[in-house]
Amino acid sequence: MNTNNTPPDWFSNIEQSLIVNGETDITWQHQTDLLVVGFGAAGASAALEGRENGLDVIILDRFAGGGASVKSGGVVYAGGGTKVQESLGEQDTPQAMFDYLNLETQGVVKDETLMRFCEQSSQNLDWLMSHGVKFSGPVFKKKTSYPNVKYFLYHSDNSLLPSHQGEHPPAARGHRGVIKNGNSAVNLGGAIFSPMRESAKKMGVQVDTQTEARQLIVDKDGRVLGLKALQLIPGSDAEKRHKRNSALAMGIATYFPNMLPGGKSMRKLAQYFRNKVKRIEEEEREVVYYRARSGVVLSAGGFIFNRKMVKHYCPKYLKGLPLGTHADDGSGIRLGESVGGATKLMENATAWRFINPPLAWSQGIIVNQQGARFVNESSYGATIGEAMVERNNGKAWLILDSRLVKQAWREIAPGKVLPFQQLLAALNHIVVKKKFKTIQSMCSHYGFDLATIENEIAQYSRVANGETADAFHKTKDDAVALQAPYHVIDISLGQHLLPCTVLTMGGLDVNEESGQVVDANKNAIPGLYAAGRTAVGIPSNLYMSGLSLADCIFSGRRAAKHAAELSALQQ
């Protein structure tokens, strides 16, 4: 046996691969056809597809499963004429979906891959519904980052902007999973993941939680045979304590965000429980070996919670609010690299600077440190976030006037938006917003260039009055001529009372037909696949709401299907 050395900039507990002469060199505690690492939407999709194709499947998760999928808004970006779209009169085709996404994804995957994603989109939604996920209407037809809970289909992208419309009419493609939780915004991602988890158990998938993959095992020809994991004995007191403490840490972080009174104290309490989890892992886990006859699928999420990796690869995003769990530490990516897997776009991340609702906010202007506009304020939040972080050092300010402030208060009245949307907007109006009688006093406070911002406000008034076209393609109806006094809200990346969610988008390079991890020469690594945010995929250039979950379904199924096909050929 031979173990390679771990690189000095690894920032991970993942070990370099263990090279053996053959599978008999290892005493395997578990054997299966398909072994899936990470039990989120991508892992669940791979497991379900594997079972449907006759494979025995084991899925591992360091915690209880769900990951960033549960933390998401529970939106699947789907189109091409889904049953939900058709029932609500939304006209869409795979070609229309492709033409729009091609504008946003900018060649991050091959055109053939993107078209296949669009052509399979409706069928993938049907497939999710066959596993118990529910989708429905009504449709919300206006621009919004996330609609009121009574709406389950909406435009979760930039398709309503004139600059993003082509020959096809815009179609609502944000399919929210239906879940009965009143007006709460908690566990929205559970609408997608929970039915998939239950279906996996019913179909005989072996789910091993509290189990962390640490090392891939390969033969001398470079084929992945399985892996070594660290596991708390199922049913043991240690496993129960690990589940309890990790659930407490996660629950506190979810229900007591930092912006609430006492939030910092609750964060310390959450860290206390995470430290207990870490001690249990360090002291009470056992080594377990898993053999995977048909392949290993890496679907362990991205690396947004590995702050050293974020600092190394995409430091611009460090001040954002990470989306996911502490299992999103890059371990899946590092496992792939440990056997020669290549990575791509590791510098890419997405920052969701949502400012609508309230709609009134998007009718104001966003400026940078110089006082210059740099984006269409009606754009989808990730588009605003990308422009803010990549081109303006994560700094931005929203400028409104008194009319828009009053309008915003009306738009966040109880029952009109989700509670967290109401809370964030109200907090920023009361605590963060500053009022200035003149442009000069505003510039003096923030350091804006006076001539620049005077020109921007004057030009914006001409856009609102229909006198000129907007440089950022904003329509007359989406703009308001601003008048003194001016109200300014800091919406920068690190503004803690208006959290800006961030998620990493880079990962392992894969063969886009099979989902196999490839090396630097584009050669497939036998027996190894990657899916979801562990891999580069459809949303890796620019994110749209639901595009990551949709890619998880697409890529998870792709990997399992290919593994099953190879397995059948070898029999």
* DSSP 8-state code for residue 264: H
Got the DSSP string for 153-179?
EE--SSTTSGGG--SSPP---EEEBP-
Token reading at 148: 């009121």
Q: How far is CA 371 from CA 438, 457, 490, in A?
A: 14, 10, 12
In a domain, 150, yes or no: yes
CB 263 within 8 A of CB 257: yes
Both 133 and 83 in a single domain? Answer: yes
Assess if residue 495 is contained within a domain: no
pLDDT at 31: 98
Whether residue 259 is predicted with pLDDT greater than 70 in this model: the reply is: no
Identity of the amino acid at 28: W
User: Does residue 240 lie in a domain region?
Assistant: yes
Phi, psi values for residue 447, rounded to 5°: 85, 15
Q: Mean pLDDT, the chain, as a whole number?
A: 94
Domain identity same for 213 and 342: yes
Residues of the chain with pLDDT > 70, as a percent, come to 96
Q: What is the CATH number of the domain that holds 193?
A: 3.50.50.60
Cis peptide before 485 (omega within 30 of 0): yes
Could you read off the pLDDT of 121-180 as tens digits, one per residue?
A: 999 999 999 999 999 999 999 999 999 888 999 999 999 999 898 889 999 999 999 987
Taking each helix axis from N to C terminus, what angle separates 450-464 and 439-446, rounded to the nearest 10 degrees?
Answer: 130
pTM equals 0.96
Two structure tokens written together for 67: 């990951």
CA atoms within 13 A on the CB side of 457: 22
Is the model's pLDDT at 5 over the cut of 60?
no
The answer to whether position 438 is within a domain reads yes
pLDDT of 181 > 90? The answer is no
User: Are residues 311 and 196 part of one domain?
Assistant: yes
What is the torsional sign of CA 7, 13, 14, 19?
positive
**Enclosing domain of residue 221:** 14-71+187-231+286-348+514-570
**9 or 355: whose pLDDT is higher?**
355
On whether both 382 and 417 belong to a single domain, the answer is: yes
Is the Cβ–Cβ distance between 534 and 333 less than 8 Å? yes
* Number of domain units in the chain: 4
Asked if pLDDT for residue 9 goes beyond 80, the answer is no
Q: Is residue 181 part of a domain?
A: no
Would you place residue 265 in the very low, low, confident or very high pLDDT band (cuts 50, 70, 90)? confident
Cα separation of 379 and 362, whole Å? 8
The CB density around residue 417, as the number of other CB atoms within 10 Å, is 23
Question: Are residue 386 and residue 477 in the same domain, yes or no?
Answer: yes
Do 196 and 53 reside in the same domain of the chain? yes
- Tell me the per-residue pLDDT of 487-508, one tens digit each, with 9 for 90 and over: 999 999 999 899 999 999 999 9
Tell whether omega for the bond before 195 is within 30 degrees of 0, i.e. cis.
Answer: no
pLDDT tens digits, 44-72: 999 999 999 999 999 999 999 999 999 99
Looking at the structure, do residues 378 and 398 belong to the same domain, yes or no? yes
d(CA 321, CA 493): 9
Determine, yes or no, domain membership for 117: yes
Q: Strands, DSSP E only, in 90-138?
A: none
CA distance 460 to 467: 10
Residue 141: the pLDDT is 94
Beta strand extents in 317-362 (DSSP E only) = 321-322, 343-344, 349-352
Whether the per-residue pLDDT at 8 is higher than 70: the answer is: no
**Per-residue model confidence (pLDDT) at position 7:** 63
- Tokens 């621009």, residue located: 143
DSSP letter for 516, please: E
Q: Are residues 64 and 86 in the same domain?
A: no
Determine the Cα–Cα distance for residues 268 and 265; give it in Å rounded to an integer. Answer: 5
User: Rounded to an integer, what is the distance from CA 281 to the centroid of its chain?
Assistant: 27
416 and 370 share one domain:
yes
Same domain, 47 and 130: no
* CA 222 distance to own-chain centroid: 32
φ/ψ of residue 303, rounded to 5: -135, 25
Cα 528–chain centre separation:
23
Provide the CATH number for the domain around residue 398.
3.90.700.10
Residue 59 belongs to a domain:
yes
Beta-carbon-side half-sphere exposure of residue 70 (alpha carbons within 13 Å) = 23
Burial letters 279-291, b for 16+ CB under 10 A, else e: ebbeebbeebbbb
Type of residue found at 530: A
Average pLDDT estimate for 33-45: 98
Which range among 6-15, 132-141, 182-191 shows the weakest confidence by mean pLDDT? 182-191
Q: Find, among 350, 349, 352, 356, the residue nearest to 161 by Cα.
A: 356
Residues 388 and 432 in one domain: yes
Residue pair 326/305 in contact (Cβ under 8 Å)? The answer is yes
Enumerate residues 6+ apart whose C-beta is below 8 A from 366. 355, 373, 374, 375, 377, 384, 388, 396, 397, 398, 399, 491
Q: In degrees, to the nearest 5, what angle opens at C-alpha 260 toward C-alphas 259 and 265? A: 95
Q: What is the pLDDT of residue 257?
A: 67
Phi/psi for 347 (5° steps) reads: -80, -10
SS3 490: strand
DSSP letter at 17 equals P
Shortest CA distance to 493 belongs to which of 314, 363, 361?
Answer: 314
Ramachandran angles phi, psi of 293, nearest 5°: -70, -35
Q: What pLDDT sits at residue 180? A: 77
Q: Are 499 and 257 in contact (CB under 8 A)?
A: yes
Region 225-243: mean pLDDT is: 96
Domain assignment present for 500? no
| Domain co-membership, 476 together with 413 | yes
CA 177/CA 550 separation, integer angstroms: 12
Which amino acid would we find at residue 448? F
User: How many residues would you count in the chain?
Assistant: 571
